[in-house]
Amino acid sequence: MNAALEARDLIKRFGGLVALDGVQFAAAEGEVLGIIGVNGAGKTTLMNCLCGLYQPDEGEIRLAGEDVTGRTPHEIAARGVGRTFQVPRVFRRMSLIDNLLVPVLRRRATDRALIDQAETMLERMRLIDLRHNFAEELSGGQQKLLEMARMLMPDPRVVMLDEPFAGVHPTLCRFMIEQIEAMAAERKTVLLISHDLTSIYRLSHRVLALNQGRVIAEGGVEAIRGNPAVIEAYLGA
């Protein structure tokens, strides 16, 4: 069987800087793959390549076996990939409901059905009372929730979360962890980026450790926790 998401020998350069240097991995359906690494390791760049925002200089990206290298972001989104951002990127001057409608604008369903679905999603994310507000009127944590809701609207098969816990207070953190567990339970493939190890170790089935654009370790949580290369990358930095 094909992996839900697979990257082969990805290389991405920014001028002289090699941000990704032969990254390779595969993630299965329903799997939570944690991606760790210090600041500047290449985590966000990897995610940007996977969702088509950056074109890798070399390598290949496959979704459920289909080669999607070189596709535009909206073509990749249409194949069931959703994401959130390290710094929230909401549609500032649109209501929360309209924010949620954006990823499903090309669905055949009636507007009414889609709005119902958006309200249900906002209810799940505890944002329902703010549904008519502009997204710019939300707090930082609420914007992260809004992004998560927006990502889930089209029921994507692969979701990528870039630092979902950064700058989020503990109660909200716990709530987001539950949501991520729910995504895995729905058999979504989850790519979870964080430089914070605790939450990653708790949620991930498998972990990929990046350093200077290279995969320095890959495996189960226990193996990664004790891996000398990982410890050195974190302490040596």
Partner 1 sequence: MNRPNPSSRSADRERADRIYYTLAALLGGAVILYFAVVPFVGANLAFHFYLMLWITMASGFNVSSGFSGYMPFGYVAFYGVGAFTTAILVKKLGFPVLLALPFSGLAGLVLALLFAPTLRLSGIYFAIVSLALAYICRLVITNMPEEMTGGSFGIQLGSQAEPVLSFYVMMATMMLALGTILWLSRSRLGKALRAVRDDAEAADMMGVNITRVRLYGWLIAAFFPAVCGGVEAWYTNIVDTETAFNTLITAKTVIYAIAGGLGTVSGPIVGALVMVWLDELIWRQFPLLNLLILGLATVLLVLFLPRGIVGTLLRWRPAWRRYVP
Ligand X SMILES: Nc1ncnc2c1ncn2[C@@H]1O[C@H](COP(=O)(O)OP(=O)(O)O)[C@@H](O)[C@H]1O
- Nearest CB to partner 1, comparing residues 190 and 209: 190
Q: 189 near 5, Cβ under 8 Å?
A: yes
Residue 56 binds which entry of Mg ion, ligand X, partner 1, none, CB below 5-8 Å type-dependent:
none
195: its two tokens = 């430089």
Which one of 44, 84, 117, 189 is in contact with Mg ion (CB under 5 A)? 44
Measured in residues, the chain has a length of: 237
Which is it for strands 158-162 and 32-36: parallel, antiparallel or unpaired?
A: unpaired
Minimum CB separation of residue 164 from partner 1 in Å reads 16
Q: Is 42 in the site for ligand X (CB under 6 A)?
A: yes
**The pair of three-digit structure tokens given for residue 211, joined into one six-digit string:** 């350093």
Stretch binding partner 1 (CB under 8 A), from 2-10, 102-110, 195-203, 213-221: 102-110
Query: What are residue 26's DSSP bridge partners?
Result: 6
Span interacting with Mg ion, options 5-13, 28-36, 75-83, 85-93, rule CB under 5 A: 85-93
Taking CB under 8 A as the criterion, the residue among 12, 43, 83, 206 binding partner 1 is 83
Of 37 and 56, CB closest to ligand X: 37
- Alpha-helical (H) ranges within 43-195 are 43-50, 73-78, 96-101, 111-124, 140-152, 170-185
Q: Does 19 bind ligand X (CB under 6 A)?
A: yes
- Report whether 193 contacts 161 (CB < 8 A): yes
Q: Under a CB-based contact definition with an 8 Å cutoff, are residues 11 and 121 in contact? A: no
Q: Which residues bind partner 1 (CB under 8 A)?
A: 51-53, 72-74, 76-78, 82-83, 85, 89-95, 98-99, 101-103, 105-106, 111-112, 115-116, 119-120, 123, 128-129, 131-134, 137, 150, 154
